């Protein structure tokens, strides 16, 4: 197996293309779980008396009210987001990892990998935040439709146009702070853990550099990423979903205000709303992504991640 330095220094354009393709496959496969997670996180928002629910009830309600295709509401902006987000964070991680390796001449430590993963994820999220905002708004629109209300947007382009017109160009970056915080934590857990776990599994001959080894590494990285990021994910989702009222007021004044109000109204456990569907999505998403990406790299003649 080639070194991390070799991994990060050749064929960046090919890697970007293969990463985007793998991300599209993974996103399309697991999107219904992501939609369920978003709706679950928005459930009970600012209402402590809301009836408790779970992922199965939320998903069943979506299918009942909107049909099976309702589970794919917001898929197009989600795929658009990953065309920017995933290539930047994955290829960026490999490049930064090689710089850490070059500085000391040895293997990269887990803390260094965690830092590199967090930095690359944060940069990628800033770039992809507008598409993420549109995705969340369109996912939340399905909830309005289930209540007999008109959706705010007819499609991704309409959402972009209305957000810019009503909230200004910077409105596309609403919720960017909790979004970046979440991206830092997710990628710190996901990329560093996958990278480290994969090498641990191979080094200790638990599995080879194959589907079984990739599956073990992706499950471990998905669990760690979910535990670290779920509170920030809840805050991010609620911040991005809110739109200013006619009076110009918003439900939350910032990420910290959202955090405090969520805990005050719904309790501390509300910060881990959607934990199971988040992990249930991250696990399959990472499995599909990493297996696809590693296979595509092999077919393209590029060494494994």
Q: Is 169 exposed, middle or buried (0-12, 13-18, 19+ CB in 10 A)?
A: exposed
In a domain, 40, yes or no: no
Q: What is the pLDDT of residue 272?
A: 85
Per-residue pLDDT, 62: 83
* Digit-coded pLDDT (tens) for 39-65: 777 776 545 545 667 778 888 888 888
Instruction: Say what the pLDDT of residue 140 is.
Output: 76
Q: What is the pLDDT of residue 136?
A: 80
Q: For residue range 225-273, what is the model confidence (pLDDT) as tens digits? A: 888 878 888 887 788 777 655 666 778 888 888 889 889 888 888 888 8
Q: Distances from the Cα of 4 to the Cαs of 16, 86, 96, 271, in angstroms?
A: 17, 19, 10, 36
For residue 186, what are the CA distances in angstroms to 2, 116, 151, 237, 286?
26, 12, 30, 15, 12
| Mean pLDDT of the chain, nearest integer | 82
163 domain residue, yes or no? yes
Pick from 72-76, 104-108, 298-302: least confident:
104-108
pLDDT of res. 5: 42
Q: What number is the average pLDDT over the span 278-284?
A: 76
Residue 33 counted as domain residue: no
For residue 167, give Cα distances in angstroms to 164, 170, 173, 236. 5, 7, 10, 18
pTM: 0.72
Please indicate, yes or no, if residue 174 is contained in any of the structural domains.
yes
Q: Residue 304 to residues 26, 255, 275, 284: CA-CA distances in angstroms?
A: 18, 38, 30, 20
Side-chain-facing half-sphere of 257: CA atoms under 13 Å: 7
Is residue 114 a part of any domain in this protein? yes
What is the model's pLDDT at position 88?
Answer: 94
**C-alpha span between 138 and 136 (Å, rounded):** 6
Query: So what's the pLDDT on residue 104?
Result: 53
Residue 116's pLDDT is 94
Residue 143 is assigned to a structural domain of this protein: yes
Residue 158 lies in a domain: yes
Q: What residue numbers bound the domain in which 193 lies?
A: 106-205
- Over range 118-135, report the average pLDDT: 90
Q: Burial-class residue 57 by CB neighbours within 10 Å (0-12, 13-18, 19+).
A: middle
Range of lowest pLDDT (68-82, 97-111, 112-126, 169-183): 97-111
pLDDT tens digits, one per residue of 8-37: 445 788 999 999 999 999 999 888 888 887
**Number of domains making up the chain:** 1
The DSSP-derived string for 209-265 is: SSHHHHHHHHHHHHHHHHHHHHHHHHHHHHHHH----TTS--S-SSHHHHHHHHHHH
The pLDDT of residue 108 is above 50? yes
């Amino acid at each position: 197996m080639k070194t991390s330095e070799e991994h990060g220094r050749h064929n960046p354009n090919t890697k970007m293309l293969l990463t985007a393709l793998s991300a599209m496959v993974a996103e399309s496969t697991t999107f219904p779980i992501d939609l369920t997670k978003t709706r679950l996180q928005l459930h009970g928002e600012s209402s402590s008396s809301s009836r408790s629910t779970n992922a199965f009830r939320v998903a069943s309600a979506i299918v009942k009210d909107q049909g099976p295709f309702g589970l794919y509401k917001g898929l197009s902006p989600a795929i658009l987001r990953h065309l920017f987000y995933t290539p930047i964070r994955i290829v960026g991680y490999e490049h930064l990892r090689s710089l850490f390796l070059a500085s000391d001449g040895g293997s990269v430590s887990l803390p260094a990998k965690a830092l590199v993963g967090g930095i690359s994820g944060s940069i990628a999220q800033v770039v992809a935040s507008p598409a993420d905002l549109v995705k969340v708004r369109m996912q939340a629109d399905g909830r309005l439709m289930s209540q007999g209300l008109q959706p705010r947007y007819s499609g991704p382009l309409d959402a972009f146009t209305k957000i810019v017109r009503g909230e200004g160009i910077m409105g596309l970056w609403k919720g960017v702070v909790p979004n970046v915080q979440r991206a830092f934590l997710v990628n710190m857990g996901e990329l560093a853990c996958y990278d480290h776990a994969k090498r641990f599994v191979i080094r200790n001959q638990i599995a080879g550099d194959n589907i079984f080894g990739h599956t073990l590494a992706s499950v471990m990285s998905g669990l760690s990423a979910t535990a670290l990021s779920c509170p920030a994910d809840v805050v991010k989702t609620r911040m991005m979903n809110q739109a200013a009222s006619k009076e110009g007021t918003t439900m939350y004044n910032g990420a910290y205000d959202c955090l405090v109000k969520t805990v005050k109204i719904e309790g501390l456990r509300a910060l881990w709303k959607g934990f199971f569907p988040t992990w249930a999505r991250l696990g399959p998403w990472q499995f599909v992504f990493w297996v696809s990406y590693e296979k595509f790299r092999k077919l393209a003649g590029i060494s494994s991640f």
